Amino acid sequence: MKPVKRIEIIIDSLDIRMVLQELEDIGISSYSVIRDVIGSGDRGARSGDLLNDAMKNSYILIACDEEQAEKITEALRPKLKRYGGMCLVSDAQWVQH
Amino acid sequence: MKPVKRIEIIIDSLDIRMVLQELEDIGISSYSVIRDVIGSGDRGARSGDLLNDAMKNSYILIACDEEQAEKITEALRPKLKRYGGMCLVSDAQWVQH
Amino acid sequence: MKPVKRIEIIIDSLDIRMVLQELEDIGISSYSVIRDVIGSGDRGARSGDLLNDAMKNSYILIACDEEQAEKITEALRPKLKRYGGMCLVSDAQWVQH
Amino acid sequence: MLNPAVLFFFLGILAVLARSDLEIPQCISKLMSLYLLLAIGFKGGVELSHSSFGTEIAATLLSAVLMSALVPIYTFFVLRRFVPAHDAAAIAATYGSISAVTFITAVGFLQTLEIPSSGYLVAAMALMESPAIIVGLVLYRYVAAGQDVEGDDFAWSRVLREACFNGSVFLILGSLLIGLVTTDAHAASLAPFTDDLFKGVLTLFLLDMGLIAGRRLAALREAGIGLVLFAVVVPLVNAAAGVAITLVLGLGLGDALLFTVLCASASYIAVPAAMRLSIPQANASLYVTLSLAVTFPFNIVVGLPLYLAVLRWVHA
Amino acid sequence: MLNPAVLFFFLGILAVLARSDLEIPQCISKLMSLYLLLAIGFKGGVELSHSSFGTEIAATLLSAVLMSALVPIYTFFVLRRFVPAHDAAAIAATYGSISAVTFITAVGFLQTLEIPSSGYLVAAMALMESPAIIVGLVLYRYVAAGQDVEGDDFAWSRVLREACFNGSVFLILGSLLIGLVTTDAHAASLAPFTDDLFKGVLTLFLLDMGLIAGRRLAALREAGIGLVLFAVVVPLVNAAAGVAITLVLGLGLGDALLFTVLCASASYIAVPAAMRLSIPQANASLYVTLSLAVTFPFNIVVGLPLYLAVLRWVHA
Amino acid sequence: MLNPAVLFFFLGILAVLARSDLEIPQCISKLMSLYLLLAIGFKGGVELSHSSFGTEIAATLLSAVLMSALVPIYTFFVLRRFVPAHDAAAIAATYGSISAVTFITAVGFLQTLEIPSSGYLVAAMALMESPAIIVGLVLYRYVAAGQDVEGDDFAWSRVLREACFNGSVFLILGSLLIGLVTTDAHAASLAPFTDDLFKGVLTLFLLDMGLIAGRRLAALREAGIGLVLFAVVVPLVNAAAGVAITLVLGLGLGDALLFTVLCASASYIAVPAAMRLSIPQANASLYVTLSLAVTFPFNIVVGLPLYLAVLRWVHA
Ligand SMILES: Nc1ncnc2c1ncn2[C@@H]1O[C@H](COP(=O)(O)O)[C@@H](O)[C@H]1O
Ligand SMILES: Nc1ncnc2c1ncn2[C@@H]1O[C@H](COP(=O)(O)O)[C@@H](O)[C@H]1O
Ligand SMILES: Nc1ncnc2c1ncn2[C@@H]1O[C@H](COP(=O)(O)O)[C@@H](O)[C@H]1O
Ligand code: NA
Ligand code: NA
Ligand code: NA
């Protein structure tokens, strides 16, 4: 098992394309996305019940090494500031295969 | 980055309103919810295939400080005892923005 | 609160039955599943937009003790090798109820 | 008689047994059940608007409510001998309440045989969902349970709201009322949706019900032979009571069949949701499986033609 | 006049107020809105293919675009006195743009009254979505905002694409063009889908809109009485302007109503999506709530009959 | 000839190219494909119940199975020169199997031209899904693969179940059998659902297919020009073989077209699912992209009119 950083991002569903583009730009090509997430935060409730993806969040999970984690959080910080959302970093072990 | 507690709750979808109400009551207004979760536990399989939300779970993710985490787990303990489900607490770093 | 291992598995949706069967075989009967996960990895993008569950992932979350975690990762390793996917292990506290 | 809708139900069960990956996403199940409830409620309301509200209707609705309240009582005392009080109460409520899908299948059955029925039976259906839940809870809390129920956060207000305003009751009653006040011109403009598609959607929906019921078959073993028998005998007893009541009330053949089917059917939508909140100790897998994997197929396959034959015989 | 579609809208609101768990999954909402946009676009195109493109059509489309561009300007300067510039710009764009659902409800309303209308109004609808967004952004970025907009990653290309190629505009215009080139035989083979089901799907969809609007009612308090008044008065002002324009253009009654309704309606699909990307500071809850929970119900309940009465009076 | 269904397919592709956010949720795609499979199977069964089972039918079904088994063999040996054995086997199985959507589009195409066809071609379609999968696997495991396949947890039982009982095969065959035993009165009561809506749902579904295919276009570069050519030439070769067989069998024009289209089409539902389980090394993106983004559009746009013209010519 290999120690990795586990990055969780919650961001507006409308911004997901932009974030994935950002990840690609900094060379991250492995990630997982859960598209339908609702919630509540500083910008109020997001109930996910409109006719499009406005008012809905998505969840991104990335397992990567420490250096990449650094890059990702640096790239995301201004986006999170501008568009809202949340980003958590924690530790995990990657089961090698 | 700021150290935070990362609380994960899995609970019956029918109870989700109640849990969110409980969170509001103790002053937690930031959380994320994934509504369609299936699973299996002490009370058997939950296949999520009925015509309503019976037999289905929801997942709640909360990033908060240690004190709030304490409050949340205390408030949830009796609910989990009565209605089933699970609650995990782990450590994470919050990317400040 | 009781320390537990928190196992996260991301695997092809078509393989989910097989993985759950594997879990049952080694005596794990408590788990949660999120069925609709998309992503990208070594085997390219998985956009989840075909007419069946090909090209889509599922997410499994298991809280268990260390010994069980060992068993699970050992059982999954060859599957992950053959079918792709990812498995992370991290630490958490189980809120007892 | 080979009704394609019923055959699709069996196709669904077969798909599960053959371990096929045939599957209908839950939101599609929800769409179909929303559609069927809206259509049946609306059509019931439109029909009702053409009939005059008389004592027959009032007597039928009253009998429906009474049946829904009485069935849980006798079944509860029978069940208590075999299962814990919380399970007995939950199963009793299940059998006192009704299954909208069974009712809708019966309406389709009558349509095919061109036997007329009245719209107010839809109102009877909606009224029969809640009394059983309330009676089941009263039995559990005041008759059976000891320290079990002390200090829990039970609130009648929440349970009553759940019992009376749950989605399906709300939609049926709402659609019925809207149908009642809708002009014939408006109703006609909706007919391609509410009428013409009805049988087809019901067919696809029964395929889905077959898949759902099939997946529950494995849980039957857990329930045991005694409860499975219960799930066949109680509908028959209730249907017999229903037939007797329709004779007293003097209902026409179609209405009598619908009334009988309501008595014989058991809930798997409203009751499980209400029980989870009010008797969480009860084993949901048990009561859902009995009503969904035994009583529902029994009613639509054996029950419908049987009840009709009996009604034809006693009405003659 | 008791239109069942409108009654179902109220049933949805009532379900929220009664705290019923009635709910329509989001993918079903999407299915219904896809269907309605496709059907309305396609039928508009087919009708258009039977009429000759003349100056009346060109003048109407031009007026539509102008209205969509001018409304945000006056509303922006009104709003700036009460709310921050970013919210003012977002709300202004919201009211300059249109609501496809309101338009579709108006088409259903005309069908019931058997008042004819032309297909090119569908084109007008599609053309009115984007100008308001662009004008709103120009006002915000070049008129009002100071250091707010410096150094952000704003890109007109991305916003224009969002404004012009968003899913609903794209589907309406695409379906319109396809309808335009479709032969009558093909159109007839699609009619059971695009025509016969239209009213029924609209009815179920309005139930859903009622649920969605109902859930937003709580947010009205946050908006305050001033903005709620705004959400009723501005549609009336715009409708009055619309009526005047239809007189100048000499439109028939049905077309005039549709044009008026477009002017009076406010967006809650395209604009929120575009605003999120371009003015993320704006409070989405504010502008979505005003258009969805105030202006939309106002237009379909009070507006439609009112505008029709006025148009009948001025056209006479 | 401007068929709106095909135009909607292009609208979908265009939406992707224009980077519009137009999107159809996956569960809606599933609903539409469930509906289309059920409708086509059921109607096929009903038609079949009116025809007598003779040698023509038996010979056609046998030829269909043979084509499905033989196509993978020749394509496999061609492909092996260009791609690794696991990809060759997976692509070979893809082209031996069939695409239900292409078949359904062809049925719609015939309906529009009012060319009659027989129900048993639906059975042929269902029978052609599995043999190709099995032959592809045999080739891979016993002809090509070396140490690759040693020690893996491959189980024929699991793969055969997947190949024969996968959701779409199961639903088509089940619906066909139910259609076969359904009385005309029952079938008529389902017609507004199974017949009248068919073209409309197909149209919306092709919009969805356009979106899905459009998203795969980017992956074509990865496949390379050689494989793209393969994805156009092999359908033509198989179609030619199909035409020859229909001449030998003496099929009518409509049946001949459907048979030819089955030969020419390539799978993107059943085969990808089966390959994932049995040849996980194969690059799914490759074979799905070829069949979905090249062969499928080629068949419905160029193929259908071309094959019909050729068949008309040879049949004359
Ligand atoms: N502390 C938190 N814990 C969990 N989720 C959060 C938290 N803060 C924000 N979120 C998620 O991020 C979304 C946007 O947050 P905000 O920008 O603060 O409104 C919310 O709708 C939540 O889904
Ligand atoms: N150890 C566990 N790991 C992951 N999920 C669990 C675990 N235990 C319970 N769950 C989830 O919580 C739900 C209710 O659990 P229970 O009350 O034990 O039946 C289950 O259906 C699972 O989704
Ligand atoms: N480093 C990672 N972080 C997050 N998710 C991953 C990662 N690697 C793989 N995955 C997920 O696992 C799936 C299969 O991975 P792979 O077998 O590498 O193609 C991907 O589609 C992702 O959803
Ligand atoms: Na009953
Ligand atoms: Na407007
Ligand atoms: Na083929």
Whether F206 has its CB under 8 Å from any CB of chain C: the answer is no
Residue contacts between B and C (CB atoms, under 8 Å): 62
Contact: D170, E15; criterion CB under 8 Å: yes
Q: How confident is the model at residue F315 (pLDDT cuts 50, 70, 90)?
A: confident
Q: Which residues, listed in sequence order, are joined to residue E269 by a DSSP beta bridge?
A: none
Mean pLDDT, chain F, whole residue set: 93
The helix/strand/coil state of C9 is: strand
Task: Say how many Å lie between the CA of residue D91 and the centre of ligand 3.
Answer: 45
The helix/strand/coil state of B51 is: coil
Distance CA A91, CA B91 (A): 8
Mean local confidence (pLDDT), E18-41: 96
Residue among F174, F159, F158 nearest F123 (CA): F174
Looking at residue D148, what is its pLDDT? 63
- The answer to whether residues B73 and B7 touch, using CB atoms and an 8 Å cutoff, is yes
Strands C2-12 and B2-12, bridge-based pairing: unpaired
Looking at residue E148, what is its pLDDT? 63
Which atom of ligand 2 is least distant from the CA of B37?
Answer: 23
Residue nearest to atom 1 of ligand 3 (CA): A63
Q: Is D309 exposed, middle or buried (0-12, 13-18, 19+ CB in 10 A)?
A: exposed
Contacts of B25 (CB under 8 A, 6+ apart): B75
User: Residue D111: left (phi > 0), alpha (psi -120 to 50), or beta?
Assistant: alpha
E219-258 residue pLDDT tens: 898 889 999 999 999 999 999 999 999 999 999 999 999 9
Mean pLDDT, chain C, whole residue set: 95
Mean local confidence (pLDDT), A32-60: 93
Mean local confidence (pLDDT), A64-74: 97
Residue linked to tokens 């997430």: A37
Distance of residue B61 Cα from the nearest chain D Cα, in angstroms: 23
D61-104 residue pLDDT tens: 999 999 999 999 999 999 999 999 999 999 999 999 999 999 99
Distance CA C48, CA C54 (A): 7
Using a threshold of 3 CB pairs under 8 A, tell whether chains F and C touch. Answer: yes
Mean pLDDT, chain E, whole residue set: 93
Chain B residue with minimal CA distance to A72? B95
- The answer to whether residues F277 and C14 touch, using CB atoms and an 8 Å cutoff, is yes
Tallying the residues shown for chain A, one arrives at 97
Contact: D42, E7; criterion CB under 8 Å: no
Distance CA F179, CA F41 (A): 7
DSSP per-residue codes, F272-305? HHHHHHH-TTS-HHHHHHIIIIIIHHHIIIIIHH
Which of D8, D192, D199 shows the shortest C-beta gap to F178? D8
Distance CA B16, CA E197 (A): 36
Distance of residue A94 Cα from the nearest chain C Cα, in angstroms: 5
Residue linked to tokens 């071309």: F306
Question: Which residue type does A96 have?
Answer: Q
Cα–Cα distances in angstroms (integers) from residue E143 to residues E68, E85, E132, E137, in the given order: 18, 9, 15, 9
Cβ-based contacts of B49 with chain D (< 8 Å) = 26, 29, 211-212, 215
B9-43 residue pLDDT tens: 999 999 999 999 999 999 999 999 999 999 999 98
Residues of chain D with pLDDT under 70: 1, 145-152
F124-168 residue pLDDT tens: 999 999 999 999 999 998 887 665 666 666 778 878 887 888 899
Angle CA(D129)–CA(D131)–CA(D132) in degrees, nearest 5?
A: 75
Residue nearest to atom 1 of ligand 2 (CA): C63
Q: How confident is the model at residue E146 (pLDDT cuts 50, 70, 90)?
A: low
Whether C3 has its CB under 8 Å from any CB of chain A: the answer is no
DSSP per-residue codes, F71-87? HHHHHHHHHTTTS-HHH
Chain B residue with minimal CA distance to A84? B97
Which atom of ligand 3 is least distant from the CA of C39?
Answer: 23
Ligand 2 mutation pick, C4, C29, C31, max ligand atoms within 8 A of CB: C31
Report whether pLDDT(E128) > 60. yes
Looking at residue D98, what is its pLDDT? 96
Contacts of E45 (CB under 8 A, 6+ apart): E119, E122, E175, E176, E177, E178, E179, E180, E181, E182
Mean local confidence (pLDDT), A65-90: 95
Handedness of CA F155, F158, F160, F163 (dihedral sign): negative
Distance CA E211, CA F161 (A): 44
Report whether pLDDT(F87) > 60. yes
Helix F120-138 to helix F253-264 angle (10° resolution) is 20
Task: Provide the chain D residues 270-289 that lie in CB contact (below 8 A) with chain B.
Answer: 272-273, 276-277, 280, 283-285, 288
Mean local confidence (pLDDT), E265-272: 91
Contact: D21, F167; criterion CB under 8 Å: yes
Cβ-based contacts of A19 with chain B (< 8 Å) = none
Residue among D134, D119, D154, D147 nearest D69 (CA): D134
Name the token pair of D220: 């039957």
Contacts of A6 (CB under 8 A, 6+ apart): A61, A62, A63, A89, A90, A91, A92, C88, C90
10-residue mean pLDDT profile of chain C (97 residues): values are: 97 93 95 97 90 92 97 95 95 94
Cβ-based contacts of D2 with chain F (< 8 Å) = 181-183, 186
In this structure, of D2-11, D273-282, E144-153, F55-64, the range with the lowest mean pLDDT score is E144-153
Cβ-based contacts of E288 with chain A (< 8 Å) = 50, 54-55
R_g over Cα of chain E: 19
Q: Which contiguous run of DSSP H or E holds residue E149?
A: none
Ligand 3: list residues with CB < 6 Å.
Answer: A 30-32, 61-64; C 10, 39-43, 46, 57, 84-86
pTM of the predicted structure, to 2 decimals: 0.96
Mean local confidence (pLDDT), A29-50: 94
F106-117 residue pLDDT tens: 999 999 999 999
Using a threshold of 3 CB pairs under 8 A, tell whether chains D and A touch. Answer: no
Report whether pLDDT(F220) > 60. yes
Q: Is F58 exposed, middle or buried (0-12, 13-18, 19+ CB in 10 A)?
A: exposed
Ligand 2: list residues with CB < 6 Å.
Answer: B 10, 39-43, 46, 57, 84-86; C 30-32, 61-64
Contacts of F12 (CB under 8 A, 6+ apart): F22, F206, F207, F208, F209, F210, F211, F212, F213, F214
Mean local confidence (pLDDT), F240-260: 97
Contacts of F245 (CB under 8 A, 6+ apart): F63, F67, F259, F263
Looking at residue D278, what is its pLDDT? 87
